[in-house]
Chains A and B, each alone.
Chain A
Amino acid sequence: MTEKRTRLVVVVVVLGQLLLLGAQVPAADGGQTLLAGAWMRGIAPLAALVDGAADAVSGLAVYWTTRRRLLSENDRLRRENERLRQLAVRNLGVTADLERLAAAVDYGRASGRTVRLADVVYSDRVSWPRTMLVRLGAAGVGHNDPVITDAGLVGRVVGVSGRYARVQLIIDRSASVGVMVERTRRQGVVRGSSGGLALQFIPLQADLVVGDRVVTAGIDGVYPRGIAVGTVTRAEAGNELFYEVELAPAVDFATVDHVYILEPEELPEALRDPAAPTPDAVR
Chain B
Amino acid sequence: MKRLLEFAGALLVAVTLHLIGTRLVSEWPLILDLMLIVVLFAALDGNTLSGLAAGLAAGWATDAVAGTPFGLFGAIDTMIGYGAALAAQRVVIERAAGAALFFAAAALVQQGLFLGLSLVLLAAPETSAYRWLAVKVAATGVLGAILFHLRQRLANRLDLWRHTRRTKIRLDR
Residues of A within 8 A of B (CB): 1, 3, 6-7, 9-10, 13-14, 17-18, 20-21, 24-25, 32-33, 35-36, 39-40, 42-43, 46-47, 50-51, 54, 122-129, 131, 133, 158-159, 166, 168, 173-174, 194, 254
Contact residues in B for A131 (Cβ distance below 8 Å): 66-67
Q: Are A50 and B66 in contact (CB under 8 A)?
A: no
Nearest CB of B to A15, in Å: 9
Contact residues in A for B52 (Cβ distance below 8 Å): 6, 9-10, 13
Residues of B within 8 A of A (CB): 12, 15-16, 19-20, 22-23, 26-27, 29-30, 48-49, 52, 56, 60-61, 63-72, 74-75, 78-79, 82, 117-118, 121-129
Contact residues in B for A173 (Cβ distance below 8 Å): 122, 124-126
- Cα-based distance from A47 to B67 in the complex (angstroms): 13
Closest to B70 in A: A36
Nearest CB of A to B113, in Å: 10
Contact residues in B for A54 (Cβ distance below 8 Å): 20, 23
Q: Are A39 and B70 in contact (CB under 8 A)?
A: yes
Q: Are B75 and A17 in contact (CB under 8 A)?
A: yes
7 A-B residue pairs with Cβ-Cβ distance under 8 Å, sorted by A, are A9-B49, A10-B79, A21-B75, A25-B121, A46-B16, A50-B23, A159-B67
6 smallest beta-carbon distances between A and B, as pairs: A128-B126, A194-B128, A36-B70, A39-B64, A17-B71, A131-B67
- Cα-based distance from A54 to B15 in the complex (angstroms): 15
Q: Are A126 and B49 in contact (CB under 8 A)?
A: no
* Additional pairs, 7, CB under 8 Å, beyond known A13-B78, A43-B61, A174-B122: A13-B75, A17-B78, A36-B63, A43-B15, A122-B23, A126-B30, A129-B126
Contact residues in A for B12 (Cβ distance below 8 Å): 46
Nearest CB of B to A41, in Å: 9
Q: Are B19 and A50 in contact (CB under 8 A)?
A: yes
Q: Are B22 and A123 in contact (CB under 8 A)?
A: yes
The residue that B49 contacts in the complex, of A1, A35, A166, with Cβ under 8 A, is A1
Q: Are A127 and B66 in contact (CB under 8 A)?
A: yes
- Cα-based distance from A3 to B48 in the complex (angstroms): 8
The residue that A126 contacts in the complex, of B26, B60, B69, with Cβ under 8 A, is B26
Contact residues in A for B125 (Cβ distance below 8 Å): 128, 173
Q: Are A129 and B67 in contact (CB under 8 A)?
A: yes
- Cα-based distance from A133 to B72 in the complex (angstroms): 19
The residue that B48 contacts in the complex, of A6, A50, A129, A159, with Cβ under 8 A, is A6
Q: Are A129 and B23 in contact (CB under 8 A)?
A: no
Q: Are B71 and A18 in contact (CB under 8 A)?
A: yes
Contact residues in A for B122 (Cβ distance below 8 Å): 25, 173-174
Nearest CB of A to B70, in Å: 4
Nearest CB of A to B33, in Å: 10
Contact residues in B for A51 (Cβ distance below 8 Å): 19, 23
- Cα-based distance from A35 to B72 in the complex (angstroms): 13
The residue that B26 contacts in the complex, of A18, A24, A125, A128, with Cβ under 8 A, is A125
Q: Are A46 and B19 in contact (CB under 8 A)?
A: yes
